[in-house]
Amino acid sequence: MADFWLISVPLDKTSLTSVEKLKRTITKTHLGSCWKFSIPDLKVGILDSLVRVSDDLLKLDALTESLIKKTCQCLKEVMEPTGVKVQEHDLANGDHGTHQKSAATSPLKTYLASLRVDLMNRVTKFQWDKAKYPTALPLSTLTDIINKEISQVETELRSRATAYNSLKASLESLELNLNGNLQTRSLNDVLRKDDLVVSEYLTTLLVVVSREKYLRWEKSYESLSEFVVPRSSRKIFEDGDGGIFTVTLFKRAVCKFKAKAQESKFIVRDYSFDEEERKQQEIMKLSVHKKDQYGIFVRWLKVNFTQVFIAWIHLKALRVFVESVLRYGLPVNYQALLLETDRKRSKKLKEELSSLFVHLDPTASMKEVSCDIPGLCQQEYSSYICFHIGTSMLEISEPSTT
């Protein structure tokens, strides 16, 4: 997958010649693509203010990129490509008749592919949003606007994710109990009310018996209490571990029977049709609520991911402007370029850029350097200004086939 670099060079004669040579080289060698990146005229202010803004933008850049990754990761976790998620995704998008089509392709993959196309189009055709970020405002105010926007989304993401995960965990817990082992699973689908004797004097108990104890149960259950109804035991359900048997006895003997059964490693489980029905209704209620919240949460994630990404590009543009003034001086005279390259060719393109613009700072290298001047340091200092716009968060790791 390709990534983007936002670079800036001064508009001197040598640099302009190098830019034209860069464009020809990129086209000839297929190292990537190149676009002019338009940044409006912004208020410069004083040098001290620029240095402070540069430091603030550096921190805000890292915070914004982290939020973008968190939001995208949350999308991936919520839109996991399972059958249930496919159905919920269709419902979230108002589609009630294309489940078979959706099942063939992951909604997550489809969405991320279309999202990447949309975001890349916004980046390559970038236009400054003057309504949201008025260019007449000081750079520090524009930074504060973006910072407030990012902080609000981060707070709401944390709140919404916690609420959705809590709902999901509650539903999974109930489903696990009702579809769990013999001691907890629901029996309403295999047990009828007339299978249980309930009268003034008699009651029916449900007993969990492991497979290796079947014969022992049949031979001994009547002797666990003198008040057991003879030949009243019947197996109503079994799985790989064992079975559930009914046994009818007098109510006054229930406590003694349970104690004797426990001694023989037979487990008497409590059961109530009304309680199980209540649990089933609770599961249905939570399932409907989760599907509703799934749609609301996914739509919120999609909208806010895009908005935060757009804010991030404006932040990158701010950084280019500020660093260009700090690096190249006044009057403001620079050209910003957007480069797209495949990661396999990125090293070659960096070498080409370093060679073309070495005149801007002959001492610069692509290695990390120690710098004590605020606002002029980057992780990789080079003779030209360069900021990375990563898109790796839009990738989906393929499961291992080994």
Same domain, 213 and 343: no
CATH of residue 318's domain is 1.20.1460.10
Rounded Cα gap, residues 88 and 295, in angstroms: 7
Same domain, 158 and 260: no
335, 343 Cβ separation under 8 angstroms: no
pLDDT in tens, the chain (402 residues): 678 999 999 988 998 899 999 999 888 888 889 999 999 999 998 888 999 999 999 999 999 999 999 999 999 999 875 544 445 555 455 554 444 444 446 788 889 889 988 999 999 999 999 999 999 999 999 999 999 999 999 999 999 999 999 999 999 888 887 777 888 887 877 888 777 888 899 999 999 999 999 999 999 999 999 999 999 999 988 888 899 999 999 999 999 999 999 999 999 998 877 777 888 889 899 999 999 999 999 999 999 999 999 999 999 999 999 999 999 988 888 999 999 988 788 888 888 888 889 888 887 754 444 444 444 444 567 889 999 998 888 887 655 444
Last residue of a domain, one of 244, 270, 296: 270
Per DSSP, 282 falls in state H
Same domain, 24 and 166: yes
For strand 234-238 and strand 267-269, is the pairing parallel, antiparallel, or unpaired?
A: unpaired
Per DSSP, 318 falls in state H
Same domain, 386 and 240: no
Reference 328, options 357, 369, 368; nearest CA is: 357
Same domain, 155 and 300: yes
Rounded Cα gap, residues 399 and 402, in angstroms: 9
Same domain, 6 and 51: yes
Last residue of a domain, one of 225, 245, 270: 270
Same domain, 242 and 335: no
210, β-bridge pairs: 242
20, 350 Cβ separation under 8 angstroms: no
Rounded Cα gap, residues 91 and 184, in angstroms: 31
Q: Is residue 276 part of a domain?
A: no
Rounded Cα gap, residues 351 and 22, in angstroms: 11
Range of the domain at 36: 2-79+106-177+285-364+379-394
Same domain, 251 and 289: no
**Residue 42 burial (10 A CB sphere; 0-12, 13-18, 19+):** buried
Q: Name the token pair of 134.
A: 């008025």
Same domain, 75 and 114: yes
Q: Is residue 215 part of a domain?
A: yes
Same domain, 385 and 322: yes
Q: How remote is the C-alpha of 92 from its chain's centroid?
A: 16
Q: Name the token pair of 334.
A: 């620079």
CATH of residue 205's domain is 3.30.70.100
Q: Name the token pair of 255.
A: 């406590």
Number of structural domains found in the chain: 2
Per DSSP, 396 falls in state -
Q: Name the token pair of 55.
A: 């430091």
Last residue of a domain, one of 220, 235, 270: 270
Report DSSP letters for 63-106, one per residue: HHHHHHHHHHHHHHHHT--SHHHHHHHHHHTT--S-HHHHHHS-
Q: Is residue 29 part of a domain?
A: yes
Same domain, 68 and 201: no
Q: Is residue 295 part of a domain?
A: yes
